[in-house]
Structure 1
Amino acid sequence: MVSRTSVERPASMSLTPVEAKPTFLDGDEESHPPPEKGDLPEAQVQSEWTEAFLGEKVSLQCMIPISENWIYKWFKGSENVFSSDERSIKDNTLTLSVKSGYEGEYACQAELKGRTVTTAKSKTHLLTVHDNTPKPDITKHRWFDFFYTGEKVQLGCNMSGDGWKYDWYKGSKPLITDPTFNISSASLSDTGVYHCKAKRGDFSVDSETLRVQVQDLPEARVQSEWTEAFPDEKVFLQCVISVSENWIYKWFKGSENVVSSDERSIKDNTLTLSVKSGHEGDYACQAELKGRTVTTAKSKTYSLTVHGSKPTVILKQDPPYPEIYTGEQVKLICTIKEKTSKWQYQWQKHSVLNHLNQNCQ
């Protein structure tokens, strides 16, 4: 017989209950940990679209931070959203083929499959729907009627809203995908009609066309009545450009720049020389377009000959009689010894100016 002796406990002693621990079979404790308590996760609507155009496809996603077997519900305002021809719900994504009535506030909610667990509704996501689809704005960074070869051309494309990609075309030929199309150094072959296409998802819209005209730089040319000159004579050389623009003119004598001084004056396109012996030489000009990186090539040179002294004036009488009688005709001829041209002649009698004649008689 086995007996168990009872132990008398002091009256003041109390017993502390011990929490019972679950009993696991071998290996079960690690694979079946005790459940943890936690708040329900929050649902959140995520989308690139805050505004949309008619016919555009818009995707809204219901995001839950904990990956589980969630079943998603969608709401527009207080109404449930169900799949239809224009609305598709797949997994956590609501896809809309946008109509005018689709503007509004969207929210989502998630229910855990097989359990009585449902999140609260998410915060609302506002979607604005535009009834009229605008065209993208296409611009030139500088609105010139035409560009010259070598200039930079920059075109921009912009569409209101976020998430747009832009395709560029010259005629029907695709170029690049970027908000900006750059031509770093324009050539004649860049002349043409350009447009851009704004794309977002499966939706796209074309801009108006914009023509870019590129032409060769005009030629600078030195023009003057003088090919030869005498000391102290005033000589005018003009730099002529076929296209009338805001040109800034530069002058060269040989390889040296010509700048204004006491003997040389530059005003607009004209170089004026108060001739000295050192002014003989080959002159050229060049023009730069004000406010643009456009500079013509140097003109062909223009040669100016400077004589060492003032011209020699020769006065002849015809007929060369020493005396002329009344009633006879006499002719006086004024010439320049040096072979020069375009002289005007002043005739005087006893220091009194008689008349001005371009001829020598």
Structure 2
Amino acid sequence: MGSGALALILLLMSFIHAGLTQERPKAVLKVSPDERVFSGETVTLTCDIQGAGNLQWTYNWFKDGNTFYPTTTTAEISFRADYVYYSGQYSCRGDICYSQSSDISTAVTLTVSDLPRSTLTVTPDSPVFTGETVNLKCVIETYSYWGWRIDQIYDWRYEWYKGTYSCVMLQTSDRYTVNTDTLTIRGVITSDQDQYWCRGLIRSVSTPSSSAIYLSVKDSPRSTLTVTPDSPVFTGETVTLKCVIETHSNWRYEWSKDSVMLQTSDRYTVNRDTLTIRGVITSDQGQYWCRGQGDKRPNSSQSRSVSLSVKDSPRSSLTVTPDSPVFTGETVTLKCVIETHSDWRYKWYKGRYSIMLQSSDRYTENRDTLTIRGVITSDQGQYWCRGQGDKRPNSSQSRSVSLSVKDLPRSSLTVTPDSPVFTGETVTLKCVIETHSNWRYEWYKDSVMLQSSDRYTVNRDTLSIKALNESDQDQYWCRGQRDGRPNSSQDSDRIHLSVNVSHSGQISVSSILSFLLAACPYLLSTVVLLFKCYRARGNTSV
């Protein structure tokens, strides 16, 4: 053998030795979508020959050490894991023209589980009542499989269905909200009554549908709100709202106005099913509704809202004639004027304790007018009036008016010269009134008003009596009159004028008679003595 042939043989042997001693490529098996799947899912196995370059490999697939799938020229196979039978240890190996092979990959455990059952629960128990909130919960069966729990490793999605014959998948809305495994129906209505069922979804498969549950919806007990008297109401009136619930008992009642729950107060009082509003004001106007709350289902019943309209009561005003202050002795007229409606009956009140006035000798009523005659100081005070009617509005109250009463100006009488006076003298009487002016003076002797004459002369506030005689002796007094208010003064105190006979005057007949009557006994005695003496002398001379 020549040297050239020997060299070629040595080269080939070196190549063979190098191939025999070279390390085999490493195969890695990957499983998708997961090493744990449910029956019916599609599983993809990928055999990755690491460090093999771009060589043309063929792939062998093994399950539990046995050939599982025919040899492929692609590094990926897919199959539908319809049964639990597909669970096992999976591995792969790559070959190149049967001359070189990779290592067999480390086995990967594929677990195939049956899909769990889903169960639908409803809270509260059916039947439910309109207005209630209902929760439907889709419960996925939990069990352990080779040490792992199904409910812990999967992120389930849920589908909700309603309907008996035509199933409709429910979508979220204002009333339908979903929180993972729970569907909440708020404000249940009668159209929500039907069959409901659910299922869970994971990747491309879903659980069997749950058994259908029939949701029965009944009307909540009806509550009716009544208002007395009928709206509109008038300020100052008392309004009663009554909440009538047709069925069940032991309700607790709640009252709301314009979505604000009412609390008891001085004006708002509650007696079980009745709310009373006293002294209605304009701010009480609004939408009212009531609700019954109970400890057992049905535990709520809400009425429809009722509109309460509040109008101002007819205005009444009190007028006083003449203007205050008034003076004792005057006549006062109070008039109650009500702006709308008619056929009012009028009531009159006085004082802080609202004493109702009754007709009397001094108090007379004529429909809308109260007359007080001969006012006295005790008539001073606050007055107000109210109209009462047979139809609503049946009341109207005025604001109070203050009546101030003052005494008439005092008058005093003076006499010059001081009493007693004497016949023939001139006497001056002066009437002094303490306030106001432009008085006209009246003069009285006893109860007779004096008139000017030859002996009686008047100069404004002064009366002069000339040439007094005994007939001028009497009681004298004065008072003032004027055109404005006050138009009269008080009567002055009475002064007694005493008149004595003057000594420098002529002897009056009465004086003579008085003298004669006093002297007669003495004269008669003298005549009798003279007569006796005369007879005695006659007897002696004989």
TM-score (norm 1): 0.51
Distance 1:181 1:145 in 2: 15
Q: Deviations over 1:144-178 (max 9, x none)?
A: 24111111101111222313221111113213212
Counterpart position of 2:64: 171
* 1:252 and 2:161 are equivalent in the alignment: yes
Q: Residue 114 of structure 2 is aligned with which of 216, 228, 238?
A: 216
Counterpart position of 2:488: none
* 1:286 and 2:199 are equivalent in the alignment: yes
Would the aligned equivalents of 2:252 and 2:272 in 1 still touch at CA under 8 Å? no
SS state of the match for residue 206, structure 1?
coil
* 1:96 and 2:16 are equivalent in the alignment: yes
Counterpart position of 1:137: 28
Counterpart position of 1:301: 212
Distance 1:278 1:347 in 2: 28
Would the aligned equivalents of 1:153 and 1:186 in 2 still touch at CA under 8 Å? no
* 1:233 and 2:132 are equivalent in the alignment: yes
Distance 1:133 1:202 in 2: 12
Would the aligned equivalents of 1:220 and 1:287 in 2 still touch at CA under 8 Å? yes
Would the aligned equivalents of 1:260 and 1:266 in 2 still touch at CA under 8 Å? yes
Q: Which has the higher contact order (CA 8 A, sep 6+)?
A: 1
Q: Residue 198 of structure 1 is aligned with which of 71, 94, 100?
A: 94
Distance 1:280 1:358 in 2: 21
Q: Residue 262 of structure 1 is aligned with which of 170, 174, 194?
A: 174
Distance 2:160 2:111 in 1: 30
Q: Deviations over 1:178-219 (max 9, x none)?
A: 222321344211111111122232433311111111101122
Q: Deviations over 1:322-356 (max 9, x none)?
A: xxxxxxxxxxxxxx859xxxxx986999569xx99
Counterpart position of 1:184: 80
The AA in structure 1 aligned to 2:128 is: A
* 1:82 and 2:38 are equivalent in the alignment: no
The AA in structure 1 aligned to 2:42 is: K
Displacement of 1:141: 3.2
* 1:148 and 2:43 are equivalent in the alignment: no
Change (3 A) 1:223 1:80: same
Distance 2:66 2:27 in 1: 19
Would the aligned equivalents of 1:231 and 1:310 in 2 still touch at CA under 8 Å? no
Distance 1:215 1:240 in 2: 18
Change (3 A) 1:146 1:346: farther
Counterpart position of 2:487: none
The AA in structure 1 aligned to 2:169 is: N
The AA in structure 2 aligned to 1:308 is: D
Distance 2:252 2:112 in 1: 53
Displacement of 1:251: 1.0
Would the aligned equivalents of 1:253 and 1:284 in 2 still touch at CA under 8 Å? yes
The AA in structure 2 aligned to 1:137 is: V
Displacement of 1:311: 7.6
* 1:158 and 2:52 are equivalent in the alignment: no
Q: Deviations over 1:254-295 (max 9, x none)?
A: 212222233322332222222101111110012222xx2122
Q: Deviations over 1:5-53 (max 9, x none)?
A: xxxxxxxxxxxxxxxxxxxxxxxxxxxxxxxxxxxxxxxxxxxxxxxxx
Would the aligned equivalents of 2:41 and 2:80 in 1 still touch at CA under 8 Å? yes
Q: Give the aligned CA root-mean-square deviation in angstroms.
A: 3.7
**How many residues were matched structurally?**
216
Change (3 A) 1:301 1:356: closer
Would the aligned equivalents of 2:64 and 2:88 in 1 still touch at CA under 8 Å? yes
The AA in structure 1 aligned to 2:61 is: W
The AA in structure 2 aligned to 1:247 is: W
Q: Deviations over 1:113-143 (max 9, x none)?
A: xxxxxxxxxxxxxxxx85x43421211233x
Distance 2:88 2:106 in 1: 14
Would the aligned equivalents of 1:230 and 1:311 in 2 still touch at CA under 8 Å? no
Distance 1:145 1:157 in 2: 15
Distance 2:251 2:95 in 1: 78
Structure 1 stretch 195-204 or stretch 301-310: which is displaced more? 195-204
Would the aligned equivalents of 2:137 and 2:183 in 1 still touch at CA under 8 Å? yes
Distance 1:288 1:99 in 2: 52
Distance 1:306 1:240 in 2: 23
Distance 1:262 1:218 in 2: 31
Would the aligned equivalents of 1:224 and 1:237 in 2 still touch at CA under 8 Å? yes
Would the aligned equivalents of 2:81 and 2:112 in 1 still touch at CA under 8 Å? no
Displacement of 1:223: 1.2
Counterpart position of 1:123: none
Displacement of 1:241: 1.5
Higher helix fraction (1 or 2): 2
- Structure 2 residue runs of 5 or longer lacking an equivalent are 142-150, 224-246, 255-269, 274-292, 298-542
Displacement of 1:239: 1.1
SS state of the match for residue 81, structure 1?
helix
